[in-house]
């Protein structure tokens, strides 16, 4: 049974490293701040989760499942449980911090690169796509 946990843990760690390399290439290849932050944010979350989960599963290989003893088995299970708690923290904090950095970049005036050359984030895309000449204003009639 421990061999299975070791193999699964190693596969998860290797997958995390592969996605980390992909995120690093995304940081180098993408044209502007926003797409680079997207690659870094998604890659950081996925890579961290895969690596930490791989270590947690690999540590389960060390547990003696045949002789369950409260004094030896439960403390061995606490480390993988703590690693799972770290995974939950990563899932909450990494997307929030990526969003905060992107929002700060937009507030600082960093322009996104678009195919048309305009700023798609600053334009009101809903009304431009719907063909409305101007947005609804208080007191005007709805057609």
Query: Which residues touch 72 (CB under 8 Å, ≥6 apart)?
Result: 64
Q: Tokens 């101007």 label which residue?
A: 134
Report d(CA 29, CA 31) in Å as an integer. Answer: 6
88: exposed, middle or buried (C-beta count within 10 Å: 0-12, 13-18, 19+)? Answer: exposed
Q: What is the pLDDT of residue 123?
A: 53
Q: What is the pLDDT of residue 127?
A: 45
Q: What is the pLDDT of residue 45?
A: 93
Which DSSP letter does residue 122 get?
Answer: T
Q: What is the pLDDT of residue 121?
A: 54
**Are 2 and 61 spatial neighbours (Cβ–Cβ below 8 Å)?**
yes
Calculate the CA 29 to chain-centre distance: 19
Q: What is the pLDDT of residue 110?
A: 85
Q: Tokens 């770290």 label which residue?
A: 86
For the chain, the residue count is 143
What angle, rounded to 10 degrees, do the helices at 2-29 and 33-60 form?
170
- Decide: pTM greater than 0.85: no
Domain ranges for the chain, please list them. 2-130
**Positions of the chain with pLDDT lower than 70, given as ranges:** 115-143
Which DSSP letter does residue 139 get?
Answer: T
């Amino acid at each position: 049974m421990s061999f299975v946990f070791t193999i699964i843990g190693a596969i998860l760690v290797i997958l995390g490293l592969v996605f980390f390399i992909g995120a690093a290439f995304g940081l180098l290849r993408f044209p502007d701040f926003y797409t680079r932050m997207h690659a870094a944010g998604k890659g950081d979350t996925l890579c961290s989760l895969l690596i930490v989960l791989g270590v947690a599963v690999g540590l389960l290989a060390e547990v003696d499942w045949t002789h369950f003893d409260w004094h030896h088995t439960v403390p061995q299970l606490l480390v993988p449980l703590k690693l799972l708690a770290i995974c939950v923290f990563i899932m909450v904090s990494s997307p929030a911090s990526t969003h905060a950095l992107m929002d700060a970049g937009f507030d600082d005036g960093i322009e996104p690169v678009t195919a048309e050359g305009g700023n798609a984030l600053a334009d009101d895309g809903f009304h431009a796509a719907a063909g409305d000449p101007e947005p609804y204003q208080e007191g005007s009639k709805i057609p």
